[in-house]
Structure 1
């Protein structure tokens, strides 16, 4: 059975990576979500995709230049024009508190240096322990630096390689960094690659899958999970109602 993850909540239906967006996914019956993390100036985990504020808040500057208290007062609804009410940038902890119904998280870390990787992974682990989420989290990243550090440091949670372009063999890379998940751009997913990855014990998740026919094609192919901006549509397709 193919699992459904809401991409940044329900990105096409509510402002991405905000509490209303994750609630939209839950309202559709999707209890698994993918989201993005950046560090604030005071090293809190903020749920936001870009390193800068412009696209979703209209403000200048970088996420890392502001404290969590400042960021949670910013309105991040510009990603979906026409949304009627303010949508603050949430901390990861605020999301955990607001949506306890979420059963699994793909936490995509937008990280560069090894120092940043250490801080982010320690912060994630602290929240996982506080909220008893050990079986509910995989930390994913396109950053080889972060994945290398996670492996070398004996990080206790599953990790996943996010692969968009496939310039290097994604299966070899996932193995090299000790990943349990392979998060593929759907264009990189074919039956042979899927078969090889699953034979090596990898959970294959594909993104961002929004077209109903493509959802059905990938489900038929046997992907382990798909990530979508339209959780309600994906649920209909996966349940044979699409």
Structure 2
């Protein structure tokens, strides 16, 4: 081989390697190992601060979490807002004033987010109401529904450059008329993540596997996480569940690991058990996330991060089962449990000018 041909072969090899790297999804979470455990603050840690607010995410960063877990909805004019509910809840948000004088849609509480403009949604106060199930929630009076861009800016202010973002597209697959089309969710998330500077820190999760399939086609570099629960899998039921993107779970023998592997998911995020608010100590509790499920997922190269786990006993049980992390309303509690089990908790990221 001549020197010129050798250089050409080297360049060709490097191009192929770079191309393969761009086509493959980034790691779906923090490094695996005996000292790493993914502590995900559900909606910013809604047991500590009113959900989905910048105040909640800021507190989670100051506490020290691996991942900020959040939901987005899409407004009538195509803007993203961080909020869980597709229909604005009077238990969580208050009307303040119309976006424009004489607005016929005012008041906005009770409306679907997809039927309101960004300007209308931003008039809502979603930080002044404490949830009965979380009596210790800190309030954030006057807080509006933030955008992804605003959250990314907040993380920069905290200099939390290693924190991860687990962004859920809240497509209502069983009632698609109540949310924006999945294409809008997918395109908006990809756009905001691409320009954020945090692209390597992001996963996209959804119960709507059709949205995840679109992410894989449009942004194969972006890892996707398949949320699920038995009600949505519909094992043994006739036909296909609307949540599975055209798949029939029975074609996979009822196995969610095989199903999500078929479209390139990087992680499985199952409910921990039923009832969802139950614990391992309850007589009627039936675990869904088991050691067998975790072992099968790991054998398929998938991480497992169950939701939403708030009590210590269930946290310990799932760690025994080998899960890679947990989504929780109480990241402070999970930090303590993780430390008890020998994991190294994430470092706090206080705002600039504050003591850590």
Give the TM-score, by structure 2 length.
0.63
2:294 to 194, 197, 209: 194
State the match for 1:46 in structure 2. Answer: 81
Q: Which has the higher strand share?
A: 1
**1:68-127 deviation digits (Å, cap 9, x = unpaired):** 2322231113353673622211111111112232611111111246x8222222221222
Number of aligned positions between the proteins: 241
Partner of 1:36, secondary structure, is: strand
1:161 to 226, 230, 234: 226
Partner of 1:87, secondary structure, is: coil
Tell me, in whole angstroms, the C-alpha distance in 2 between the residues paired with 1:84 and 1:17: 11
Q: Does 1:141 align with 2:206?
A: yes
Tell me, in whole angstroms, the C-alpha distance in 2 between the residues paired with 1:118 and 1:202: 25
Q: Does 1:96 align with 2:147?
A: no
Tell me, in whole angstroms, the C-alpha distance in 1 between the residues paired with 2:78 and 2:323: 35
Tell me, in whole angstroms, the C-alpha distance in 2 between the residues paired with 1:159 and 1:120: 14
State the match for 2:182 in structure 1. Answer: 117
Tell me, in whole angstroms, the C-alpha distance in 2 between the residues paired with 1:12 and 1:104: 20
**1:22-75 deviation digits (Å, cap 9, x = unpaired):** 112112211411111110111111111110102421512111122223222311
State the match for 2:61 in structure 1. Answer: 26
**1:167-186 deviation digits (Å, cap 9, x = unpaired):** 34211221122211101101
> Would the aligned equivalents of 1:28 and 1:235 in 2 still touch at CA under 8 Å?
no
State the match for 1:6 in structure 2. Answer: 41
State the match for 2:131 in structure 1. Answer: 80
Relative distance call for 1:207 and 1:68 in structure 2 (3 A) is same
Q: Structure 1: where are the runs of 5+ without partners?
A: none
Tell me, in whole angstroms, the C-alpha distance in 2 between the residues paired with 1:130 and 1:140: 19
CA RMSD for the aligned pairs?
2.1
The 10-residue stretch of structure 1 (10-19 or 60-69) with the greater mean CA deviation from structure 2: 60-69
| Deviation of 1:229 (Å) | 0.2
Partner of 1:106, secondary structure, is: strand
Larger radius of gyration: 2
Q: Structure 2: where are the runs of 5+ without partners?
A: 1-35, 95-108, 235-248, 250-254, 274-287, 343-356
State the match for 1:177 in structure 2. Answer: 263
> Would the aligned equivalents of 1:108 and 1:139 in 2 still touch at CA under 8 Å?
yes
> Would the aligned equivalents of 2:126 and 2:141 in 1 still touch at CA under 8 Å?
no
| Deviation of 1:10 (Å) | 0.9
Partner of 2:305, secondary structure, is: strand
